[in-house]
Amino acid sequence: MNIYKVLNEITTYIENNLTADISYEELAKIMGVNVYTFQRIFYLLANVTIADYIRKRRLTLAGYDLYMNKDKIIDIAVKYNYNNATSFSRAFTRFHGIKPSLVTAGTKLKNFPQIKFDENIKIIQDMDYSIINLKELVLYGVKTKTTTATIKQDAPKFFKEVNSKYINKYGPINYAMTVYEDIERYICEAYYVLYDKKIPNFEKIVIPPGKWLTFKIKNQQTSDIQKVIIKFYNEFLPSCKFNLRNLPELEYYHDGITEFLVAID
């Protein structure tokens, strides 16, 4: 499957249906994955969420319609799937920086073009992985707030702090987990370090049973773990045929190695 060719089919489908209801389920079918996986892949490769992409394309065309037509604002709002003129006007103003009622022939408006992907880009998928079945995991841990921009520094620093504080009392850390405030945009909210034993005053985290992809790293070095995770997002995920579950990825530390775990259906 040429993922970029498929994405071009999707953006063409969107372009032809901007005045209709656009079903994420229908878009996911074109890619052959579930909606959750589709949303993640689209954002990863387009650098815009599918919701923002559709919204920006509709508002771009709405601006053109205001230039060229004499339709009422409410008619243009309904045309591009807004429930009323007020919500349309608010969205239009945020996007274009001007109220739709003030648009004239000389007004400068924004244009967000249809995304067209280069179908000649090659993705090298050379990651070794396994599929395993995990029983329900009941973990206990502590967290630190973080962001997408700072997690590479925040995570190893917090891991070392917690490990240094508790290793003599509770032993080595078993798992780590990143929680997203907005999973579609990969906006990180918190980073957890977790133990597979009950610890007083630690937060209880329950991971449901199911199938997981596992990528093994031969050590527990932060730099090597981060390389594998980056490779997963940049190379494996865009070309994989697995349906992902809406669960955080896990890092599992044992026997001197690390397993990077991704939940799948």
Tens digit of each residue's pLDDT (9 = 90 or more) over 67-109: 887 788 999 999 999 999 999 999 999 999 999 999 887 788 9
pLDDT one-digit tens code per residue, 221-240: 989 998 898 888 878 888 77
Q: In the numeric block, which tokens belong to residue 71?
A: 């339709």
Please state, in angstroms and rounded to a whole number, the distance separating the CA atoms of residues 250 and 177. 5
Instruction: Look up residue 46 and give its amino acid.
Output: A
pLDDT one-digit tens code per residue, 157-195: 999 999 999 999 999 999 999 887 765 655 668 899 999
Helix (H, G, I), strand (E, B) or coil at 108: coil
Average pLDDT score over the chain: 91
Please state, in angstroms and rounded to a whole number, the distance separating the CA atoms of residues 96 and 181. 27
Q: In the numeric block, which tokens belong to residue 186?
A: 């990969």
Q: In the numeric block, which tokens belong to residue 76?
A: 């243009």
φ, ψ for residue 41, nearest 5 deg: -65, -40
Token look-up 């349906």 returns 243
Query: What ranges do the domains of the chain cover?
Result: 3-102, 130-264
Please state, in angstroms and rounded to a whole number, the distance separating the CA atoms of residues 19 and 42. 21
Please state, in angstroms and rounded to a whole number, the distance separating the CA atoms of residues 187 and 179. 9
Assign domain 130-264 to its CATH architecture: Alpha-Beta Barrel (3.20)
Residues 233/44, Cβ–Cβ less than 8 Å: yes
- pLDDT value of residue 229: 87
CATH of domain 3-102: 1.10.10.60
The terminus-to-terminus CA distance of the chain in angstroms comes to 20
- pLDDT value of residue 237: 84
* Ramachandran bin of 186, using left for φ above 0, alpha for ψ from -120 to 50, beta for the remaining angles: left
Please state, in angstroms and rounded to a whole number, the distance separating the CA atoms of residues 36 and 28. 9
pLDDT one-digit tens code per residue, 115-155: 999 988 776 656 889 999 999 999 999 999 988 778 889 99
| Helical packing angle, 85-96 and 50-68, nearest 10° | 100
Average pLDDT over residues 25-46: 91
At residue 241 the predicted structure's pLDDT band, cuts being 50, 70 and 90, is confident
